[in-house]
Amino acid sequence: MIDIHLDQTAGTPLYQQIAEQVRQLVATNRLQAGEHLPTIRHLATSLQVNPGTIVRAYLELEQEKIVVARRGGGTVVSTRANDPKLTRLRESRLADMASNHIVEALSLGYSLEELEAAFHLNLSRWREESKNSADLSGPGVSKIKDSGTIMIVASHDLALNILVSQFKERNPETDVDITFAGSLGGLIALQEGRSHLAGIHLLDEETGEYNYPYVRRILPGRAAAIVHLAYRIQGLMFTKNNPKKIAGLEDLGRRDITFVNRQSGSGTRVLLDLELRRRGISPDMVRGYERELDTHLAVATSINRGEADCGLGIEAAARSCNLGFISLLKERYDLVIPEENFRSKLLSPLLEIISSQEFRNVVAHVGGYDTAQTGMTTFCR
């Protein structure tokens, strides 16, 4: 039996309510071409309406060629979800849902920047939940395309996701190809001419400085702009309410703690290995050290599913999955852009967004970020 709910007090006739809900079921693939609708008698009995109401609803759907009535074969769905009529219906319905939720949130005093931050945070989380297991990093990154596509290889960051999303909204004619291959992977991609820019957060153990020492080592003699994206909070993410009583990185050596790691070459992995050495904890003492995931959200999602007790990541990712979080340090995340790319028309709209107050406001509302210096640019030679 299909799921239909009628509102006897609504001004819309019951047969139209039934027809509209069947359209939605087909448009969202919950009813597919070839499936039978309930018989008139069964649906009338289920909904406690006159059989004539069901007849009128089915006739309307048949006239729209959404269903077809077969003599002795019942009423069958005859169209697919990608039918242009239903595509427009899906888009209209989604727009109405989004609009209603936006109006409700605004009426409760939320700002547009808060709404956009919440949208990006939750969309990123659900993308991580639903993505397949295909590996997006490393050798699969291709050479810079000549078609005007912006190629980015970076360490995963939610502020970078927001930047790319805002760019696409304002510049739909320009494609963006983003690969999360870690901070070192981003710099190597620049060195090999496989990207226009890299996103990195690499702490140099000798100098205590972020990013610049690595740029000089991996891109020696090459002029590059260092565009500051944001400072962000790194720390331990763990299961809500902290049932294992995790207090800090020292607890990673406990045998009852299961850790989930970031991939080798990521700035977070570099940071973890440095902090473990400082504490005299060897990797083989950390249960789960060998399990590697490519993004902060993947780590947070794994913890949220109960696959691990904790992991190292950014506060924004912990918030997205409603996890507990212990702040460890504030780190610098920069975009590294070779000078010729920095001055190109292709990247100019992207750099304008980074410098905008709107972008800073949205990132600040995500939580776990400091945008006071966002957009500041220096050159490394």
Is residue 132 a part of any domain in this protein?
Answer: no
How far from chain centre, in Å, is Cα 116? Answer: 13
Q: Quick one: 168 and 256 in the same domain?
A: yes
Q: Quick one: 82 and 200 in the same domain?
A: no
- CATH number assigned to the domain comprising residue 20: 1.10.10.10
Is residue 285 a part of any domain in this protein?
Answer: yes
- DSSP assignments along 225-266, one per residue: EEEEEEEEEEEEEE-TT-TT---SGGGGG-TT--EEEEPTTS
- CATH number assigned to the domain comprising residue 314: 3.40.190.290
Q: Quick one: 94 and 143 in the same domain?
A: no
Q: What angle do CA 312, 375, 373 make, to 5 degrees?
A: 65
Q: Please tell me whether residue 153 adopts helix, strand or coil conformation.
A: strand
With 0.85 as the threshold, say if the pTM is over it.
no
Radius of gyration (C-alpha) of the chain in whole angstroms = 26
How far from chain centre, in Å, is Cα 7? Answer: 36
At 96 the pLDDT is: 80
Contact 218, 364 (CB under 8 A): no
Q: Quick one: 192 and 318 in the same domain?
A: yes
- DSSP assignments along 257-272, one per residue: --EEEEPTTSHHHHHH
**pLDDT in tens for each of the 381 residues of the chain?**
688 999 988 889 999 999 999 988 888 888 888 899 999 999 999 999 999 999 999 999 998 889 998 877 789 998 876 777 777 777 777 788 788 888 888 888 888 888 888 887 777 766 665 553 333 344 444 566 555 899 999 998 999 999 999 999 999 999 999 999 889 999 999 999 999 999 999 988 889 899 999 999 999 989 999 999 999 999 999 998 999 999 999 999 999 999 999 988 888 898 899 899 999 999 999 999 999 998 899 999 999 999 999 999 999 999 989 999 999 989 999 999 999 999 999 999 999 999 999 999 999 998 899 999 999 999 987
Is residue 121 a part of any domain in this protein?
Answer: no
Is residue 115 a part of any domain in this protein?
Answer: no
Range of the domain at 222: 138-380
Helix axes of 112-130 and 296-304: crossing angle, nearest 10 degrees: 70
H or E element: which one contains 338?
A: strand 324-338
Q: Which two tokens stand for residue 68?
A: 């077809």
Q: Quick one: 32 and 144 in the same domain?
A: no
Is residue 338 a part of any domain in this protein?
Answer: yes
Q: Quick one: 230 and 102 in the same domain?
A: no
Q: Quick one: 16 and 103 in the same domain?
A: yes
Contact 366, 231 (CB under 8 A): no
Is residue 289 a part of any domain in this protein?
Answer: yes
In the chain, how many domains are there?
A: 2
At 120 the pLDDT is: 77
Residue with tokens 């030679």: 381
Which residues, other chains included, contact 371 with Cβ-Cβ below 8 Å and sequence gap of 6+? 230, 231, 360, 363, 364
Alpha helix segments (H runs only) across the chain: 14-27, 40-47, 51-63, 84-107, 112-130, 158-170, 183-191, 212-218, 267-279, 296-304, 315-320, 339-342, 348-354, 357-366
CA atoms within 13 A on the CB side of 351: 19
Is residue 128 a part of any domain in this protein?
Answer: no
Length in residues, the chain: 381
Q: Quick one: 146 and 235 in the same domain?
A: yes
Residue with tokens 């691990």: 308
d(CA 76, CA 17): 19
Q: Quick one: 273 and 194 in the same domain?
A: yes
Q: Quick one: 368 and 290 in the same domain?
A: yes
379: left (phi over 0), alpha (psi -120 to 50) or beta: beta
At 246 the pLDDT is: 95
Question: What is the per-residue burial (b if ≥16 Cβ within 10 Å, else e) of 356-365?
Answer: eeebbbbbbb
Is residue 1 a part of any domain in this protein?
Answer: yes
Q: Quick one: 166 and 310 in the same domain?
A: yes
Q: Quick one: 172 and 283 in the same domain?
A: yes
